[in-house]
Structure 1
Amino acid sequence: MIFKTISIRRMGLFIFDIIAVILAAYGALWVRFNGQIEPYYLSLINKYIYIILSLTMFIFILLKFYTSLWLYASIYEFRNIIMANIISSASNMIMFVLFEERMFRSWYFIFALILTALTGGIRFFYRFIRLYLQERGLFGRSRKDASRIMIIGAGEAGNQIAKEITGSDKLNKTVVCFIDDMETKQGRYLQGKKVVGKREKILEASEKYEIDEIYIAIPSATGLERKKIIDICSKTKCKIKVLPGMYKILNDEVSVSALRNIEIEDLLGRDQIEINTEEIMDYVNNKVVMVTGGGGSIGSELCRQIAKHGPKQLILIDFYENNAYDIQQELIRKYPTINIKVLIASVRNSKKIDKIFKEYHPDIIYHAAAHKHVPLMEDSPNEAVKNNVFGTFHVAKAADKYEAKKFILISTDKAVNPTNIMGATKRICEMIVQAFGCKSKTEFVAVRFGNVLGSNGSVIPLFKKQIEEGGPVTVTHPDIIRYFMTIPEAVSLVLQAGAYAKGGEIFVLDMGEPVKILDLATNLIKFSGYTPNVDIKIEFTGLRPGEKLFEELLMEEEGLKTTPNKLIKIGKPIVIDEKKLSNSLKKLYEAAYAETENMKELVHDLVDTYHYRKE
């Protein structure tokens, strides 16, 4: 019954091993006596050959010689062969001792040596022939039209990926060469393929070897190093894939399937930002936490991360019911025991906000509710003031009145020397927060950061949609640059900044180096499989009203202090003239609801760093 399930290949190996054991047993005698075998020892082997054979084959079966995939045999399989033959030789020694037969000691050593050479040799020879035939398309899938692969990184990860490709007849790929910056690896071979040079050779090698795909297999590389390599690779016409991170090595998950396409986050030139979750736990755990604008991109991610840290109650406020419903259902699925309350309300409604605070008494408030679309707000400045300025004022006032512990405003780099009404209203929000921070028991702070990848209305989703529609991809100006973060990164830093809050600070998040929007558009087209300005056109539309070529994170009068997390800086609080602010807010409120035509001018009177274009 057993033999019915054994394949022809395994049966062949089994028969060969029987022959190998017999050859080893008699061969050891021949070697020991230099061809002149003494009759006593020859008769001894003849007498016990069946026991020697049975013992050895039993050990081979026990050590799974006939269930291993010898096509993928490595040093570990070779070690098993040596161990099996040593155990077999020792077993035969015990057998001869038990039967009180005299066998010279060197026979056991020679027997194990010959048996190892025969059993190991046939298996690795089989692997060599199989791979040789696969390479030439004579066995399994033909590789004549196989995708030609260059692997960047001749280390453990690169070795494992190359080994999988070389050993598989399912992957119609062939590794052609390696690139590695280490001097000692130059000109060396890995899995039979040459390390043809350092990263400077990528372009030359891709043409010389007619490369179709480039695999970046350096999981230990920093974000900046990975970006530099990607920038070089993007100049080729090759598809580019990258191994995500070091944890793949640690979890033994390095394989072709672990490789992923280049993502826009890879172009930020820095590593994923890490935070101290313990600090967040300390001040969020068992607290009543409120998130305004909780259905938006930032607000919903705040809710996700806060939910992980065991709040006593999570209150989500949003004016748009669909977004609020989606995040509510997501959190209930992930955290069935969470105490979450979703309230549909506008931060403009001061009475409603006051009632909510009176009923729920939140300990911590994250104020993310805001109008943020620059071009839309340029055309509706009164709405920007109503929602951003007075929405913030109403929530801050309620936080002060009901003695919340912390109030964290989500601000923007556009609040620094603003050139648009959205940025100017956010600067007023910061002023409101700092004014309350000077006199309140509540710790009022603002967190300022730049553009967030993938958020509603951000440039990346727009580019992707334009690419899907066949172009053109629209960029306002060839030299425009922006700071970028992922949504989880921005939110995690907001949460940690909240842990540092003492009152009145403006926290500035270090977002790395600014990124050129044109480069983002170009690379996004390339990584989507198209050629920029051939398949997909890039058009320059000109700067939009209120748009800058570059954003700033700090005003001239603000100094910088560091925090334990070096990616979070503290801008020195600026003295706020509370009387002027109070009077200006009254004028703005009346003017906004009177639908004034000169709102930008009134905002400029309060924010003297606001530069606007007069109509």
Structure 2
Amino acid sequence: MLPYVLVRFRRPLIVGLHLLLIPLAYRFAFGLRFDLHVPDAVEPIFWATLPYLVGARLASFLAFGLFQGWWRHVGMRDLIDLVRAVTTSSALLLGLLFLTDQLAGFPRSVLVLDWVLALLVFGGVRFLVRAVRERHFIPWRAQRGKRTLIVGAGNAAERLLRHFHRDESDQIYPVGLVDDDPGKMRMRMHGVPVIGTTAEIPQLIRDRGIERVVIAIPSATRDEMRRIVQPCMDADVDFQIVPSMRELLDGRARLGELRPVQIEDLLGRDTVALELDGVREDLEGRVVLVTGGAGSIGSELARQVAAMEPRRLVVLDQAESPLYFAMLELVRAHPRMDIVPVVADITNEGRMESVFAEHRPDCVFHAAAYKHVPLMEDNAVEAVRNNTLGTLCVAQMAARFGAAKFVLISTDKAVHPSSVMGATKRVAEQVVLGWPSLRRAGTDFRAVRFGNVLGSDGSVLPLFRRLMDAGQPLTVTHPDVTRYFMTIPEAVQLVLQASAIPEAAGRICMLDMGEPVRIVELAENLIRLSGLEPYRDVPIVFTGLRPGEKLHEELMSEHEATIPTALAKIRIVQSNEPAPDTLMPGLDRLGAAVEVGSAEDCLLGICALVPECVAPLRERGLEAAAAAR
């Protein structure tokens, strides 16, 4: 009953408390001024000026909203408002004394003393309520909770400790913090000391009886994460991580909430410093078309483009169900934006013409593609139809209907392609950069090339997770196979930046993919992060390279060179595209092969256009040529 009354009549109670404290602080100021013995001659001054002070204080506190805040959550902003309100009310009192001719006999130092005491009293009451609420008078959960070591002594750790102070449901006992900044050694944060560096984590786990490690460095690099996580796995200690700011903003996590360390964290990379002004200038208030908008890359492109506030966002895909769910997410996040879902096949020229005629996009992000390497080896006709001829169709419509910019999403598999998929994407690059009618158009055509993205549909991580959930061994093609990896949001951020830099017009941009990762190490770390032991609890089986796969991917060939751009993560690829008299007949040949459904002719066509292709694609092309003779 009492808590209900306190909440129901909270504001009148707060006002009443202030009515009590204002005279007490004012009286104490007089007492300090006269050594606790206020002379009889001064006593009338106190009573005559008290109503002015009470009125000035109440008016100022009301104006600055001090009767509305939750004292249990009082912070620096509330303290600033309190200083402003007390200063304003003291100034008002001084003005009233002047206007009423009472300033002459008034002891001036009382104004200063009252100002200081008011801050101490009203600020102290507020922080006392918060301290009681957060149980600061009780030793740090000394009798319960896991002994926890917090890695990082920055803002994330401060927010985390503050949350643990308030929330009794978190069974945690912070033993200490570790940080590599020498200036933080032996300092305390919310009463928790900094007791070492990250290099000392193994020893601290042993000596301090640590049962849990919390990583409060959401922007940690891959090497930092591995250095922190490895001793935890070796000591069989629980470890968790504070969500990143992006996860908090996206609603995927709550403030103070911890989550398990994921394999993506161990593959994380340095934070990208985004230059969004140019991107926003390109997209804000424009019509933007994203093809393949229901896929992993396309849907993230749509999300990030929507944040740039285009006038209309057209999301096109032939997969109806994924497009439907992508649209639900976009509409929920941007209810006032004109978002248009389009179900269409990019190879359908008539349908593409109607889409471009209706919406006339200013910018086209072409992410639609078939990308599964082994699957496209057995479906070469469809790979050529979609990846190559479909790209030509969309690019021609972009030029015909006056799009300002066309960005092709390409792949590292287009470099020395060993697969049908990689070769068709290389030909797609040649099309957008070398097709005669496109080069004469006013559209800015460019391509962006990057490697694997973590968590995309059909990529290795979801496959590994499905196998583990099913209790099956993890399958890796070869012990030495490596791949470049990048998170989907980072890849799309860089694609958007590459779309905006002027020097990339008419060229291929290559994203900095960092160092390649051994797939077998990826599998081993995923198993360990699940609390299991590789090869003992979960077998890893080597199956051999699949059709069209390479042992190591490349980002450029020996026939290409790169030049830097203003952005450290993006380079320009200087490549020699085929002459129009080679490209146009080659595309005609591919179109004829697709028309009759001839996989052999498709192989011959793409190998002719991509002479730098390598085994096994080159062997397949030679076999097709021999069969044709």
TM-score, normalised on structure 1? 0.73
Q: Report the alpha carbon displacement of residue 230 of structure 1 after superposing the two structures with TM.
A: 1.9
Cα distance in 1 for partners of 2:108, 2:356 equals 90
- Preserved CA contact (<8 Å) 1:268 1:512: no
Q: Describe the shift of the 1:363–1:206 C-alpha distance in structure 2 as closer, same or farther (beyond 3 A).
A: same
- Preserved CA contact (<8 Å) 1:293 1:367: yes
The equivalent of 1:445 in structure 2 is 446
Are residues 1:233 and 2:236 paired?
no
Q: Report the alpha carbon displacement of residue 415 of structure 1 after superposing the two structures with TM.
A: 0.2
Deviations along 1:81-136, whole A, 9 cap, x unmatched? Answer: 9x99xx99xx9xx9xxxxxxx9x9999999999999999999999979x9698448
The equivalent of 2:286 in structure 1 is 286
Q: Describe the shift of the 1:207–1:352 C-alpha distance in structure 2 as closer, same or farther (beyond 3 A).
A: same
Are residues 1:459 and 2:472 paired?
no
- Preserved CA contact (<8 Å) 1:408 1:444: yes
- Kindly provide the amino acid, as one letter, of the partner of residue 482 in structure 1: R
- Preserved CA contact (<8 Å) 1:153 1:180: yes
Q: Describe the shift of the 1:117–1:501 C-alpha distance in structure 2 as closer, same or farther (beyond 3 A).
A: closer
Cα distance in 1 for partners of 2:298, 2:119 equals 65
- Kindly provide the amino acid, as one letter, of the partner of residue 171 in structure 1: D
- Kindly provide the amino acid, as one letter, of the partner of residue 413 in structure 1: D
The equivalent of 1:385 in structure 2 is 384
The equivalent of 2:583 in structure 1 is 581
- Preserved CA contact (<8 Å) 1:280 1:495: no
- Kindly provide the amino acid, as one letter, of the partner of residue 367 in structure 2: A
Q: Describe the shift of the 1:59–1:158 C-alpha distance in structure 2 as closer, same or farther (beyond 3 A).
A: farther
Cα distance in 1 for partners of 2:587, 2:121 equals 91
Give 1:407-418 correspondences, 5 Å limit: 407-418=406-417
- Preserved CA contact (<8 Å) 1:396 1:436: no
- Preserved CA contact (<8 Å) 1:411 1:448: yes
Deviations along 1:238-287, whole A, 9 cap, x unmatched? Answer: 222125259999xxxx9962555435553322114524244443366334
Cα distance in 2 for partners of 1:503, 1:189 equals 53
Are residues 1:595 and 2:590 paired?
no
- Kindly provide the amino acid, as one letter, of the partner of residue 302 in structure 1: L
Q: Report the alpha carbon displacement of residue 2 of structure 1 after superposing the two structures with TM.
A: 11
The equivalent of 1:553 in structure 2 is 555
Q: Report the alpha carbon displacement of residue 187 of structure 1 after superposing the two structures with TM.
A: 3.7
- Preserved CA contact (<8 Å) 1:438 1:504: no
Cα distance in 2 for partners of 1:587, 1:109 equals 91
Q: Secondary structure at the match of 2:430?
A: helix
Q: Report the alpha carbon displacement of residue 570 of structure 1 after superposing the two structures with TM.
A: 1.6
Q: Report the alpha carbon displacement of residue 416 of structure 1 after superposing the two structures with TM.
A: 0.5
- Preserved CA contact (<8 Å) 2:293 2:315: yes
Q: Describe the shift of the 1:560–1:68 C-alpha distance in structure 2 as closer, same or farther (beyond 3 A).
A: closer
Q: Report the alpha carbon displacement of residue 376 of structure 1 after superposing the two structures with TM.
A: 1.0
- Kindly provide the amino acid, as one letter, of the partner of residue 394 in structure 2: V
Q: Which runs of 5+ in 2 are unaligned?
A: 8-12, 42-46, 98-104, 621-629
Q: Secondary structure at the match of 2:439?
A: coil
The equivalent of 1:342 in structure 2 is 342
Cα distance in 2 for partners of 1:337, 1:298 equals 21
The equivalent of 1:510 in structure 2 is 512
The equivalent of 1:605 in structure 2 is 608
- Preserved CA contact (<8 Å) 1:400 1:440: no
Give 1:56-71 correspondences, 5 Å limit: none
Cα distance in 1 for partners of 2:556, 2:309 equals 34
Q: Report the alpha carbon displacement of residue 60 of structure 1 after superposing the two structures with TM.
A: 13
Q: Describe the shift of the 1:256–1:233 C-alpha distance in structure 2 as closer, same or farther (beyond 3 A).
A: farther
Q: Report the alpha carbon displacement of residue 181 of structure 1 after superposing the two structures with TM.
A: 1.4
Q: Describe the shift of the 1:214–1:402 C-alpha distance in structure 2 as closer, same or farther (beyond 3 A).
A: same
Deviations along 1:423-482, whole A, 9 cap, x unmatched? Answer: 111111112222216863333322111122232212232233334334533333344333
The equivalent of 1:325 in structure 2 is 324
Cα distance in 2 for partners of 1:427, 1:594 equals 21
- Kindly provide the amino acid, as one letter, of the partner of residue 539 in structure 1: I
Q: Report the alpha carbon displacement of residue 411 of structure 1 after superposing the two structures with TM.
A: 0.9
Equivalenced residue count is 590
Are residues 1:183 and 2:185 paired?
no
Q: Describe the shift of the 1:595–1:178 C-alpha distance in structure 2 as closer, same or farther (beyond 3 A).
A: same
- Kindly provide the amino acid, as one letter, of the partner of residue 158 in structure 1: A
Q: Describe the shift of the 1:157–1:492 C-alpha distance in structure 2 as closer, same or farther (beyond 3 A).
A: closer
- Kindly provide the amino acid, as one letter, of the partner of residue 468 in structure 1: D
- Kindly provide the amino acid, as one letter, of the partner of residue 612 in structure 2: T
Cα distance in 2 for partners of 1:422, 1:582 equals 20
TM-score, normalised on structure 2? 0.72
- Preserved CA contact (<8 Å) 2:292 2:366: yes
Deviations along 1:404-426, whole A, 9 cap, x unmatched? Answer: 44332221111001122111111
Q: Describe the shift of the 1:217–1:110 C-alpha distance in structure 2 as closer, same or farther (beyond 3 A).
A: same
- Preserved CA contact (<8 Å) 2:153 2:194: yes
- Preserved CA contact (<8 Å) 1:419 1:547: yes
Q: Describe the shift of the 1:513–1:277 C-alpha distance in structure 2 as closer, same or farther (beyond 3 A).
A: farther
Q: Describe the shift of the 1:544–1:211 C-alpha distance in structure 2 as closer, same or farther (beyond 3 A).
A: same
Cα distance in 1 for partners of 2:32, 2:291 equals 84
Q: Describe the shift of the 1:409–1:532 C-alpha distance in structure 2 as closer, same or farther (beyond 3 A).
A: same
Cα distance in 1 for partners of 2:341, 2:136 equals 65
Give 1:202-281 correspondences, 5 Å limit: 202-218=201-217, 223=219, 225-235=220-230, 236=232, 237-242=237-242, 244-245=244-245, 257=256, 259-266=258-265, 267-272=267-272, 274-281=274-281
Give 1:39-438 correspondences, 5 Å limit: 134-135=138-139, 144-155=143-154, 157-166=156-165, 169-218=168-217, 223=219, 225-235=220-230, 236=232, 237-242=237-242, 244-245=244-245, 257=256, 259-266=258-265, 267-272=267-272, 274-282=274-282, 285-287=285-287, 289-309=288-308, 311=310, 313-333=312-332, 334-338=334-338, 340=340, 342-347=342-347, 349-354=348-353, 356-357=355-356, 361-402=360-401, 404-436=403-435
- Preserved CA contact (<8 Å) 1:28 1:111: no
- Preserved CA contact (<8 Å) 1:272 1:489: yes
Q: Which runs of 5+ in 1 are unaligned?
A: 45-49, 95-101, 138-142
Q: Report the alpha carbon displacement of residue 371 of structure 1 after superposing the two structures with TM.
A: 0.8
Deviations along 1:362-412, whole A, 9 cap, x unmatched? Answer: 444332221100121122223212221222233334444555443322211
Cα distance in 2 for partners of 1:146, 1:374 equals 49
Cα distance in 2 for partners of 1:280, 1:557 equals 35
Cα distance in 1 for partners of 2:408, 2:519 equals 27
Q: Select between 236-245 and 357-366 the one with higher mean Cα deviation.
A: 357-366
Cα distance in 1 for partners of 2:330, 2:296 equals 15
Cα distance in 1 for partners of 2:564, 2:217 equals 32
Q: Describe the shift of the 1:601–1:530 C-alpha distance in structure 2 as closer, same or farther (beyond 3 A).
A: farther
The equivalent of 2:627 in structure 1 is none
Q: Describe the shift of the 1:331–1:156 C-alpha distance in structure 2 as closer, same or farther (beyond 3 A).
A: closer
Percent identity reads: 34
The equivalent of 1:563 in structure 2 is 565
Q: Describe the shift of the 1:470–1:439 C-alpha distance in structure 2 as closer, same or farther (beyond 3 A).
A: closer
- Preserved CA contact (<8 Å) 1:164 1:255: no
Q: Select between 195-204 and 353-362 the one with higher mean Cα deviation.
A: 353-362
- Preserved CA contact (<8 Å) 1:483 1:513: yes
Cα distance in 1 for partners of 2:239, 2:553 equals 33
Q: Report the alpha carbon displacement of residue 174 of structure 1 after superposing the two structures with TM.
A: 0.9
- Preserved CA contact (<8 Å) 1:507 1:568: yes
- Preserved CA contact (<8 Å) 1:437 1:503: no
- Preserved CA contact (<8 Å) 2:475 2:542: yes
Aligned-residue CA RMSD (Å): 5.6
Q: Report the alpha carbon displacement of residue 331 of structure 1 after superposing the two structures with TM.
A: 4.2
- Kindly provide the amino acid, as one letter, of the partner of residue 195 in structure 2: V
